[in-house]
Every structure is written in C-alpha cells, then in structure tokens.
Amino acid sequence: MRKLINICFILLLFIPLHSVIRVSYFSLPNGLTVLLAPDDKMNSVCVLTYHKNGVNSDPSDIRGASYLYQKLMFLETDNLSPYERIRFIMKNGGRSSGKVNYDNSVFYQVVPASDLNYALWLESERLQKLKLNDREIIKQRKGIYDRIYRLINRSIHFRAGEWVRKELLKNSIYKTPLYGDIEKLNTFETGRIKRIYQNFSNPKNIILVISGKFEEDGIREKIDRYFGSLESKSIPAKDPVAVPLGGGYKYTNWMREVIPESFILIGLRAPSKLSLDYTYFKLLVYYLLDERTSKLKRIFKSNLKMDVNISFDFSNNIGANSLLIKISSKKRAELERVRFYIRRLFEMLMTDRLTTSELKTMKSLMEIDFLKNLTLPEKMSLVLAENYHMSGNLDYGNMFLKRVRKIRSYDIVRISKKYLRKENMVILNVFSK
C-alpha cells in the first residue's frame, strides 16, 4: 500500500492543476452547440456527437426504442453503404463507436488529424441523410430481442443483475432496462421507431465536440458548412433531473439446481451525477472495490484466505445510479461469512474515519484515472459534453480535481451513513440446491 501511495504522489507532482483542458465554445444559428478542445500533444482528432436524448426520452409505451439506434446510426445513408464509415475509419487506423444511454446518446470517430474534414462529413451524413427502412429496423429489433432473450434464459447472473437493478431503481424512470420491456420489444412499430430519428437529428439536442490535434483557424466555417443546414425542430431536450433515493430494504433467496457456484448480489442505491455526493461515493467505491486497493479483496482473500471472487458494476446514469457488488463461491458457508463481514465493514465506515494514507491513496487514484482518461480524445470529449449538458460548465477538469482534493475523512463517514445503511440495500442470494 505504501509503495502505491508513493507512486501516486510522484505522478501527481507532474500534473498541474491549472489548464487541465482548454475549451472554447460557440453555437450555430440552428441551435447546435459546439465545444472545441485542441491539444497538439495528441496525434489524432475526435469528432463526437453528444445527443441530449436517450431511452428516457422515448414515449412510455415504446421505451427502449432509442436503443435500436446504436445499430441504426451505422447503416446506409444517401452517400454511404451500410457500415462503410466504420470500414474506412478502421482501415486508416482510427476507431468509431456509439452508445445510447438513458439520458444521452454518444457517437464518435477518432481519425488522423488530416482526416478531420472527412469525419465531419460522416457525422453530417448520419444526422441528415440516414436511410431507415422497415426491413433493417425489423432485423435490428429482432437481433436485440434474440440476444436479450438468450441472456435471460441462459444466464442466471444476467437475470439476477437485472432483478436487483430494477428493485434498486423501482421508484424511478431507470427501472426499465435500456432495451425496454422484452415482452413488448418486437411490437414496437417501425413507423414510430423512424420518428425517433427526429430527436437524434435535432441540432437543439446536440453538442458537437472536436478534441485533439486540429487547427482552430477556419474550424467554425467547416462546422457551419457540414451542420448549418440541420433543421431545428420543436422537440424539447429533457434536462437532467436527479431522482431521490427510495425503495426500502429487500432481501431474497433464489434456489437453483444447476449452477457452477453460488453467489450473492448486494445492491446499493447510489447518488446521481448531479449530486455533490457522487464524487464522495465514487471514492467509497474505489476504497471497497478497486482492483488495486480493494478493501473487500484484502479482507476476504488476503486476511481470511477465502476462495471467493469479487466483482462489481457501478452504473453511469445522470439522474440515479446503482452499485452492484457480486461475491461468488463454491462454498455456500463462505457466502454466509461474507455477508457478516460486509455488514461489519459498512458499520465501521459509518463511525470510523479512513486513515490518512488510505484517503490519500484513493484521492490520488481518482485523479490519476481521471487525467489518464483525458489523454484519449473520445473520453475527454465525452467528459466535456456530458458536464456541459448537466451544468453548462466548461471547466469541469479543474472543478473535479479541486473537489477530489478537498475530500476529508468525515465526508466519507457522512456518505457511508447515507448510502451504506440497510434501508438503502437490495440483497439477493443465489444458492445451489
């Protein structure tokens, strides 16, 4: 642990607090917001399109329809055959991806600096000239249905995770999975799915981010050339809203005949990204579960010599979140001990402060991981866009680092009392008969 602390501090000595990210912005007359983050130290450029709409923007009876656009957005346009953009980008050493979330949707392309114009054109094609036909929509709809259906019927781990998440967030809009209600998915009408494209192509709903190596001179004219003709529509973007905690304690056992090992899932309702609690809670996750410093790993595997596997999933939503801790073992008796020790640890965190060295290590790791992400243009672009969406703040890098550096041990005690209490948990035991 001491060696890790020393390494963290040596690395942080070379990281200035000021000017973590240099950002400028402007808006086109049609409402498109543009963020520019030039960085000559990078050798590529990222064009990222952040949509202020996601699954939570779908009508309630077809919630999950937007999830289809993870695939639909890479299909044919007026001037491109299906998946042609991805083949071109990969052939030239770039990368391209996209994801539809609850509160937002993100599509990006990272290309050599010399290909910026082409990347801008590709994004404008996707936003203005996407060809949506019934046959392709039905194909993609069936593909998602078949994949989720297989997971539900073949993976007890998938079913358990979905059940716990639903219980944790049952009083919020996040209770429905991203793909929607599996029983309704194949009934989503293609015409209604096509109309959702208006949300994705509305410039008022879009934050365009360009980061990495590019020349700022003339960039506004280029963006206006490719995106100035986007037509604003009256569809309003949904502002992020934090969902209050609630739901109450729940404890359930599932008994199964044939599973390779038993496991327990401990679910905790976690703060929204809009809450100041989020940063404190994230430090708590580092302390308990980060592979480099995991307190749970030290207790169960190093101290108690238990043969258990520990994993976790921390959701990434704006309005409400969940933390799932999964501990599995071939010995059911070990899992009984696991619950006891976790309860004791949580109670300790509600009263006892972290040591100075523990707190310094967690804060240093959070800073290093954050700054490491900023070396990847797509991750830097996403950080900028999401935080501009949430707060209108362009200086998120400095704000985050200052907030982390101000964390004190009593902050973690307060957060533990609020989020590690029994009333904030859902526990599922999955045991072999």
pLDDT at 13: 44
- Two structure tokens written together for 264: 């327990």
Please, what's the largest Cα pairwise distance for the chain?
A: 68
Handedness of CA 302, 305, 307, 308 (dihedral sign): negative
pLDDT at 9: 47
Q: Can you list the alpha helix ranges (DSSP code H) found in 97-133?
A: 116-128
Which residues make beta-bridge pairs with 327? 264, 310
Distance CA 433, CA 424 (A): 29
Distance CA 212, CA 23 (A): 11
Which fold would CATH assign to domain 250-432?
Cytochrome Bc1 Complex; Chain A, domain 1 (3.30.830)
| Tens-level pLDDT at each residue, the chain (433 residues) | 555 545 454 444 444 443 567 899 999 999 999 999 999 888 899 999 999 999 999 999 999 999 999 999 998 899 888 877 778 888 878 899 999 999 999 999 999 999 999 999 999 999 999 999 999 999 999 999 999 999 999 999 999 999 999 999 988 899 999 999 999 999 999 999 999 999 999 999 999 999 999 998 999 999 999 999 999 887 766 678 777 777 789 999 999 888 889 999 999 999 999 999 999 999 999 999 999 999 999 999 999 999 999 999 999 999 999 999 999 998 888 998 999 999 999 999 999 999 999 999 999 999 999 999 888 999 999 999 999 999 998 888 888 999 999 999 999 999 999 999 999 999 999 998 7
Q: What is the dihedral of CA 170, 176, 182, 185, to 10 degrees?
A: 150
pLDDT at 6: 52
Is there a contact between 401 and 370 (Cβ–Cβ < 8 Å)?
yes
Architecture of the 23-227 domain: 2-Layer Sandwich (3.30)
- Two structure tokens written together for 87: 């083949």
- Two structure tokens written together for 149: 């259906």
Closest CA to 92 of 73, 118, 72: 118
Instruction: Number of helices (H) and strands (E) in the chain: give both, helices first.
Output: 16, 11
Closest CA to 407 of 318, 280, 293, 221: 280
Domain borders along the chain are 23-227, 250-432
Q: In what helix (H) or strand (E) does residue 154 lie, and over which residues does it extend?
A: helix 134-154
Helix (H, G, I), strand (E, B) or coil at 149: helix
C-alpha radius of gyration, the chain, whole number? 23
pLDDT at 239: 74
Helix (H, G, I), strand (E, B) or coil at 403: helix
Closest CA to 321 of 169, 171, 425: 169
Helix (H, G, I), strand (E, B) or coil at 256: strand
Kindly give the interhelix angle for 116-128 and 219-227, rounded to the nearest 10 degrees. 30
pLDDT at 112: 92
Closest CA to 207 of 24, 389, 383: 389
Distance CA 376, CA 67 (A): 25
Q: Which residues of 223-232 are buried (b: 16+ CB within 10 A; e: fewer)?
A: bbebbeebee
- CA atoms in the 13 A half-sphere facing the CB of 367: 28
Classify residue 61 by its DSSP letter: G
Give the rounded distance of the alpha carbon of 237 from its chain centre.
19
Distance between start and end Cα atoms, the chain: 40
- Two structure tokens written together for 262: 């038993």
Distance CA 145, CA 314 (A): 24
- Two structure tokens written together for 112: 């050599």
Helix (H, G, I), strand (E, B) or coil at 430: strand
- Two structure tokens written together for 232: 């604003």
- Two structure tokens written together for 290: 């980060």
Distance CA 232, CA 244 (A): 33
